[in-house]
Structure 1
Amino acid sequence: MTRIPARHMLALALATVIAPSWAQQAAGPQAPLAVPPQAPAASPGSFTVSDIRIDGLQRIGAGTVFTYLPIERGDTVNQTRVGEAIRALYRTGFFEDIQIGRQGDILVVTVTERPAINRLTLSGNKDIKTEDLTRGLRDIGLAEGETFDRLALDRVTQELTRQYNNRGKYNVEIIPTVTSLDRNRVDIAIEVKEGKAAKIRHINLVGNELFDQDDLTDSWESAESNWLSWYRRDDQYSKEKLSGDLEKLHNFYLDRGYVDFSIDSTQVSISPDKRDMYITAGLTEGEIYTISSIELTGDTVLPKEDLERLVILQEGSVFSRALLELTADSITATLGNIGYAFAQVNTIPDIDRDNRTVGIKLQVVPGPRVNVRRIVFRGNTRTSDEVLRREMRQFEGAWYSQAAIDRSKVRLQRLGYFESGSVNVESVPVPGSNDQVDVVFSVTETTSGSFVFGLGYSQLAGVTTSVQLSQNNFLGSGNRVSVEAQRNVYLQRYSFSFLNPYFTDEGLSLGYNLWWREFDNSEFNTAQFSSTNAAGQVFFGLPITESDTISALFGIDRNQIFAWRGSSPQSIVDYIDAVGQRTFHAWRAELAWARDSRNDYLQPTRGTYQRVSLETTLPGSTVEYYKVNYEFSKYWPINRALVLNTRFEVGYGDSYGDDRTRVFCRSQGSQPLPPPGLQAADAGPTPGGEACGPGSVYDKTLVASGLPFFENFYAGGARSVRGFRDNTLGPRESAFNSGYLQPMGGALKTVGSLEMFFPQLIKSPAARVSAFVDVGNVFRNVDAFESSELRASAGVALMWRAPVGPISISYAYPLRSQDEVRDANGRVIQHGDELERLQFTFGGAF
């Protein structure tokens, strides 16, 4: 809307009733056609325009004026045409003042341009982001380079005041300043003094005799100031929020049968300093009503008795609007699953106030059966349509199914390619058709991988470099690719992993793993030995239901172990000597079953994840063993602000087949053999079970049994029991003649956790905060398990999906740990746990 000064509005009004004296206009060099109010009325006159001249232009071209001017050369002009021309030019919004006159037969248009906005600055705004404000100002034409309209500036001031009032800030001041510059330009500065938000000091309900006020306001978004208000912000008054709370109050009574409930009055008062709010509401509770009859009518499409089973309320029960709405929703959902996308259930009540009963008729209006014409995806700037389309359970050309659409939405959320909660679906009717819709899925892409590059130096490790690229949605294809190269004094690792989750159209996944590694385990807080690994694996996955998948892995690997007497624990040296070789070859197989019903991949709020796996080396491997692992995780939505996650993991491993046994002998009269692992000149190991040869006597028998030490489970750290150093829980052993105990891991692992997530504590969809309690440990075997040996910790954690990968920071306080015990001489009798309260991980999934 263009603002026209009052004097021009007056001139326009007069132009339609007062005729200019063209004889008088011609007498002077130039005179306006709009006659001043004091001029006497004259009889209408007209003239033919021989030429048109535009005066007063600075930035706007004459061609622009001619485009909007409804008068051309050769036109006959009278007072009506003049009024139309002035109004047309004012509607452009380019001019502050417009005058039209004549000089002979030349039409002279004199204009005063509105100034251009040279610079627009905002200051003081904290609650509303500058980018959002700038975008809104640009939408109404208040932006740098645009024509300045003071009316638009006034509207902005009013709208900002309203928005801050909605945030509870009633003492906000919006101060616009317009500074005139040369060349018809202006600078605009908008200063915002937000002030403090008004807080609700007291809420008073009057007339509630049956229920306590605390019960009535328990679900309200508005609340009196309390110790949690800094987080919930529930003590900030908002008219819209209060209206919603009063609606909740109404529903509270209607759900309990109080049909005549009413809110008689609502009063909101504010303190003189506009800092404190007081809310009072008067209500009438009424009496409880029961159901006298309930009947299903209309076109039910399905057999009537099938829909009647969905009716929750029964004759004689207390009236409840919530149960009534649930019944209607169940019926519409059932019809929606067979194609009736626009089905409705109209509730027709018959209230008998004398007997306090309600008769209800549920009228079913199915509407036309709807076919899905097209499925459309929006917002997938990186992910191809094919990747999303293969997750669809609703198909084009098929009958509309709400259940299939809901399932498709969940499958998209579980891909992990999009922001949590950003997958939205909408059914759009096809224009000109009442039985077709387009289903539109809107998504917001997020980071689906991580890139890690590290470069460092220390006297101990020397130069350390590492590069890792992991992408769960490689080039938008849905394939997962991971490449890693890492090198320092203690570690060299090169690996490649690939997975195609849709190798076939039926959903069979196919993947490969290749890696080579030289590794010193001591750097990972485990027993001191080193290894060189090389492996190649291929794995398959096949979905058997919507949430169940079975998978298989087959591979071959080679693991060369290096242990040293005096540095490595004696049991490791004994195991290697019992096997009789340092290189372990394995044909490996793994079978697994997983069930995943979580509603989101990145930040689930409900659903369960379970996985059972059996990994084993096949006969013919150097050592034959198996590992069984079970994982369980369930998310429980407590309310909109709290989500509880319960996690549990147990793993167990052991050998199968015959144990590997070796007997060590020595010559008679010679000194005992050195500790196993070093060969004596006059004696050597003999195959297990054989007697010592002539001239030799038995020295020692070594047996390799149970789960190999290099396959042990470990616990402790950011991904198991937080607050304890990575991999340090469980059995420990010292090296030969060494007092230092080294973590050995164990064949049995038990880890559990209770974690409460606070989705609304941080507004960013890429971050979340939680409080947790972790419990767990590893044990040498099943017989060594003791519940008293379980470790526990409690703390808080922050998880953030950074652009280069997920980051997790936790601070944990050990609740149950083992302290170090020394004797009177200061010697360590019992070693304590290694604690690490602040822990940080980068690049792992969470």
Structure 2
Amino acid sequence: MKMQFNRNFLRRASVAAVSLLFLQSGWAVEPFTVKDIRVEGLQRAEAGTIFASLPVRVGDTYSDDKAAASIRALFGLGLFKDVRIDVSDGVLIVIVEERPTIAEIDFSGTKEFDKDVLKKALLQIGLADGRPFDKALVDKAEQELKRQYINRSMYASEVITTVTPVDRNRVNLSFAVQEGEPAKISEIRIVGNKAFSESTLRGLFDLDTGGWLSWYTKSDRYARAKLNADLESLRSYYLARGYLEFKVDSTQVAISPNKQDISLTINVTEGDQFVVSKVNLVGNFLDKDAEFKSLVAIQVGQPYNADQVAVTSKAFTDYFGNFGYAFSRVEPRTVIDRATNRVEVTLQVDPSRRVYVRRINVAGNDRTRDEVIRREFRQLEASWYDGERIKQSRNRVDRLGYFKEVTMDTSEVPGSFDQVDLTISVVEKPTGSISLGAGISSADGVGLSFGFKQDNAFGSGNSLGVEVNTSKQNRVLVFNTTNPYFTEDGVSRSIDIYKRDSKPYLDIDSYKIETTGGSVRFGVPFSEYDTVFFGLGIDQTTIVPGTLLPVVYQDFANKFGFTSNAVPLTVGWGRDSRDSALVPTVGKVIKTSAEWSVAGELKYVRGTAAYQQYLPVTNKITAALNAELSVGSATGDSFYPIFKNFYSGGLGTVRGFEQGSLTTESQRTLGLTATGGTKKINFNAELLSPLPGGGKDRTLRVYAFADAGGIYGPDEGLQLQDMRSSYGFGISWISPVGPLRLAYAWPVKKFEGDRIQQLQFQIGSSF
């Protein structure tokens, strides 16, 4: 850009200098008073633009200096390719020749980039329809296009610019691009490594020589920024294993003559491995030396680990921050003894000064209201700076799920040594989803389905959802809304209203189950991680008699009638310590809930307890464990309602079996179809890894799993020998429409009559 600017400047300066020389040598005039100024040659430019730019006015004294200054000023407008000034009887005649105007900019052959994106990029450098034509800017645009293609490893790309004159002193610009095929990395060599194999070190890189998924990850396309990141990963790997003097000597990038293959060679010097001999703490530790010593993660007698040093330094600064010291400094120093290959680590600390927060600013929330973000803060304005509360505040805002990025910045207040301002910056993301579907069959007719959910309705932080299905077999109308701050103390309120009609068989005279009800629930936070839920609902279920009515439904209707009511009270508790809700790698989720019907014809109690644990096996592989137990029972001398049964089978329980198809022992003995059970137990284990060839992208993962689970009737015990089991593999993808999971399973233990479904698909939660 600088070179192009200099060329443009020199060209204009040269024209002005020639004009000045011409005036001085051939047309030098005696100074005179200007009587009038006329402009000739204008086509599109306004005369007022000329008069405003001229450094001379009517009545001024005109001289050769004024003439030179006038020409420079007019050329500086960038509107003219030629400017002359004539003098006649005290009248200045400004004669200009305008530059052509760009009539249209077109692109051809651009498959890698959208044309509208390219036009916006050219607009930023001054090229657009209606702008004056400037050859220097055109050259600059051509080079910029080539640079963009090089950034995408398309080194063989060529750009040919065509300027076509059209009427009224205009031109059309056409950029014809021959993109060619992108160059791909054919070889990555690491030279000089001894302690670790070349394959191990190459496994640290995002760049690779390609795989079956490279079309998606583009990991085989060279980019300098990616290489620098990979070299930093390589350096960190060695520093975390005691190689303090490791260095990358050089990198060579070789491109084949046909510009299709790239070879990378990285030369390294490992140096010796050093073991930590001693850790010293030096500085002011606020008389809390014991607390700081407990934060030291550096292990004496083990190889020096830069990650442990970084973790310790951060722990120190965070702990200082808890006492208001926002600008503490921790400086690790090493003293190397090459004779013994040992290193002494000294952590020099300076807490600096204690400060308090003057103001908290919120930025980037174009849609979400300020109060939705501010109410999550635990750090208050005009209070001492507290690092732990600030971290909690940032994490709480992030857990809202409304933002792609949440960052917290601390800045000093000018003129004040003990005050800081906090700025939380967010990048909003879409929080709503709409689903629309239709189906048609000879038996069911036309069925429409519609779903809408908005987690941050109108930027208020409230959620709103609607679900509609007009199918003759499963008609659904559901409305739900949640206000997470029903009270200022953070008590949430959720309301659900629903009507569901289920007709298991297409026969027009078959039986049908109709359910109508609603509920209201409240969530009371008891800590930063624990919430207790309680609520009240009303539920009416009607069995519409017809053909194929199961005996258990008929028996229930004989005792309680075809229409029955329940008024359930609900209570629950939940704790979530995962590092991510969508792609967890560590942490756990514990949930318990209970439902007790206290009024109506139906008297029952049912409860569920679930536990999930995520454990990092390696830096890429995560183990996930899940256990769930659900139990339901009638209260008093009542009869447990069959439509409150639990179901098992399929995704979320035991994969490889049709969804909700597992039968109890008594159902199998009597040859009945699955109608659920009053008890359910479920176990799942998974190993998740980034998709091979997908680099370190955790949104696209493969997993292997093993499932076991069973369903039991009211008079049956939890017999492990009655459990089904399966194993298999699958793919997990955080897609734009939500978490997507595809599983292929092989049943290990099954019973006669079980309905097998090996390939299953789900958009929803983890297990």
TM-score surpassing 0.5?
A: yes
C-alpha spacing 1:514/1:272, structure 2 compared with 1 (3 Å): closer
Counterpart of 1:730?
663
Q: C-alpha separation between the residues in 2 aligned to 1:306 and 1:797?
A: 42
Identity %: 34
Q: Is the 8 A contact 2:653 2:709 kept in 1?
A: no
SS of equivalent to 2:488: coil
* Amino acid of the structure 2 residue aligned with 1:790: S
C-alpha spacing 1:381/1:522, structure 2 compared with 1 (3 Å): farther
Q: Is the 8 A contact 1:733 1:742 kept in 2?
A: no
CA shift, 1:410, in A, is 2.6
Counterpart of 2:644?
711
C-alpha spacing 1:188/1:729, structure 2 compared with 1 (3 Å): farther
Q: C-alpha separation between the residues in 2 aligned to 1:513 and 1:759?
A: 39
Q: Is the 8 A contact 1:120 1:143 kept in 2?
A: yes
Counterpart of 1:253?
238
Q: C-alpha separation between the residues in 2 aligned to 1:280 and 1:486?
A: 59
Q: C-alpha separation between the residues in 1 aligned to 2:148 and 2:270?
A: 35
Q: C-alpha separation between the residues in 2 aligned to 1:844 and 1:253?
A: 38
Of 748, 753, 757, 2:679 maps to 748
C-alpha spacing 1:638/1:410, structure 2 compared with 1 (3 Å): farther
Of 752, 760, 779, 2:711 maps to 779
Q: C-alpha separation between the residues in 2 aligned to 1:494 and 1:270?
A: 61
- Cα deviation, 1:657-707, whole Å, max 9, x if unaligned, reads 34x6xxxxxxxxxxxxxxxxxxxxxxxxxxxxxxxxxxxxxxxxxxx5xx4
User: What is the correspondence of 1:651-666 to structure 2 with a 5 Å cutoff?
Assistant: 651-658=630-637
Q: C-alpha separation between the residues in 2 aligned to 1:131 and 1:425?
A: 34
Counterpart of 2:487?
504
Q: C-alpha separation between the residues in 2 aligned to 1:227 and 1:748?
A: 45
What 5-or-longer segments of structure 2 have no aligned partner?
none
Q: C-alpha separation between the residues in 2 aligned to 1:110 and 1:840?
A: 74
Of 591, 606, 622, 2:571 maps to 591
Moved more, 190-199 or 633-642: 633-642
* Amino acid of the structure 1 residue aligned with 2:711: F
Counterpart of 2:724?
789
* Amino acid of the structure 1 residue aligned with 2:601: T
Of 367, 377, 385, 1:382 maps to 367
Counterpart of 2:608?
629
Counterpart of 1:480?
463
Count of residues in Structure 1 that have an aligned counterpart in Structure 2: 756
User: What is the correspondence of 1:18-33 to structure 2 with a 5 Å cutoff?
Assistant: 20=24, 25=27
Q: Is the 8 A contact 1:569 1:734 kept in 2?
A: no
Q: C-alpha separation between the residues in 2 aligned to 1:117 and 1:225?
A: 44
Whichever of the two has the greater Rg, that structure is 1
Q: C-alpha separation between the residues in 1 aligned to 2:450 and 2:525?
A: 33
Of 114, 124, 131, 1:146 maps to 131
C-alpha spacing 1:812/1:515, structure 2 compared with 1 (3 Å): closer
CA shift, 1:626, in A, is 2.0
Counterpart of 1:441?
424
Of 551, 555, 560, 2:542 maps to 560
Moved more, 359-368 or 404-413: 359-368
C-alpha spacing 1:405/1:255, structure 2 compared with 1 (3 Å): same
Q: Is the 8 A contact 2:211 2:693 kept in 1?
A: no
Moved more, 73-82 or 172-181: 73-82
- Cα deviation, 1:592-625, whole Å, max 9, x if unaligned, reads 111123445566565433211122223x653432
User: What is the correspondence of 1:399-478 to structure 2 with a 5 Å cutoff?
Assistant: 399-418=384-403, 421-431=404-414, 433=416, 435-451=418-434, 458-462=441-445, 464=447, 469-478=452-461
C-alpha spacing 1:267/1:534, structure 2 compared with 1 (3 Å): closer
What 5-or-longer segments of structure 1 have no aligned partner?
26-32, 34-43, 661-703, 821-829
C-alpha spacing 1:475/1:315, structure 2 compared with 1 (3 Å): closer
Q: Is the 8 A contact 2:539 2:566 kept in 1?
A: yes
SS of equivalent to 1:20: helix
SS of equivalent to 1:329: helix
Q: C-alpha separation between the residues in 2 aligned to 1:263 and 1:768?
A: 32
Given the alignment of the two structures, is residue 391 of structure 1 paired with residue 376 of structure 2, yes or no? yes
CA shift, 1:456, in A, is 5.9
Q: Is the 8 A contact 1:207 1:282 kept in 2?
A: yes
- Cα deviation, 1:327-359, whole Å, max 9, x if unaligned, reads 222222222333333332233444555665555
CA shift, 1:718, in A, is 5.4
User: What is the correspondence of 1:264-663 to structure 2 with a 5 Å cutoff?
Assistant: 264-291=249-276, 294-301=279-286, 303-313=288-298, 318-351=303-336, 358-418=343-403, 421-431=404-414, 433=416, 435-451=418-434, 458-462=441-445, 464=447, 469-483=452-466, 489=472, 494-522=477-505, 529-563=511-545, 567-577=548-558, 579=559, 581-601=561-581, 607-618=587-598, 621-635=600-614, 646-658=625-637
* Amino acid of the structure 2 residue aligned with 1:835: Q
Q: Is the 8 A contact 2:483 2:493 kept in 1?
A: yes
Moved more, 214-223 or 61-70: 214-223
SS of equivalent to 1:240: helix
CA shift, 1:815, in A, is 0.9
CA shift, 1:450, in A, is 4.2
Q: Is the 8 A contact 2:238 2:246 kept in 1?
A: yes
C-alpha spacing 1:499/1:380, structure 2 compared with 1 (3 Å): same
Q: C-alpha separation between the residues in 1 aligned to 2:619 and 2:68?
A: 61
Q: C-alpha separation between the residues in 2 aligned to 1:817 and 1:347?
A: 56
C-alpha spacing 1:512/1:444, structure 2 compared with 1 (3 Å): same
User: What is the correspondence of 1:802-813 to structure 2 with a 5 Å cutoff?
Assistant: 802=737, 811-813=742-744
SS of equivalent to 2:219: coil
CA shift, 1:280, in A, is 2.9
Q: Is the 8 A contact 1:556 1:588 kept in 2?
A: yes
Moved more, 201-210 or 754-763: 754-763
Of 7, 12, 17, 2:16 maps to 12
C-alpha spacing 1:178/1:582, structure 2 compared with 1 (3 Å): same
* Amino acid of the structure 2 residue aligned with 1:400: Y
* Amino acid of the structure 2 residue aligned with 1:746: G
Q: C-alpha separation between the residues in 1 aligned to 2:233 and 2:88?
A: 72
Q: C-alpha separation between the residues in 1 aligned to 2:417 and 2:368?
A: 32
Moved more, 311-320 or 179-188: 311-320
SS of equivalent to 1:245: helix
SS of equivalent to 1:125: coil
Q: Is the 8 A contact 2:327 2:352 kept in 1?
A: yes
SS of equivalent to 2:567: strand
Given the alignment of the two structures, is residue 104 of structure 1 paired with residue 104 of structure 2, yes or no? no
* Amino acid of the structure 1 residue aligned with 2:680: K
- Cα deviation, 1:622-663, whole Å, max 9, x if unaligned, reads 3432222123344556788776654443322223434x6xxx
Q: Is the 8 A contact 1:607 1:634 kept in 2?
A: yes
Counterpart of 2:753?
831
TM-score, structure 1 normalization: 0.78
C-alpha spacing 1:181/1:469, structure 2 compared with 1 (3 Å): same
CA-atom RMSD in angstroms? 4.0
Q: Is the 8 A contact 2:86 2:93 kept in 1?
A: yes
* Amino acid of the structure 2 residue aligned with 1:310: L
Of 29, 33, 41, 1:56 maps to 41
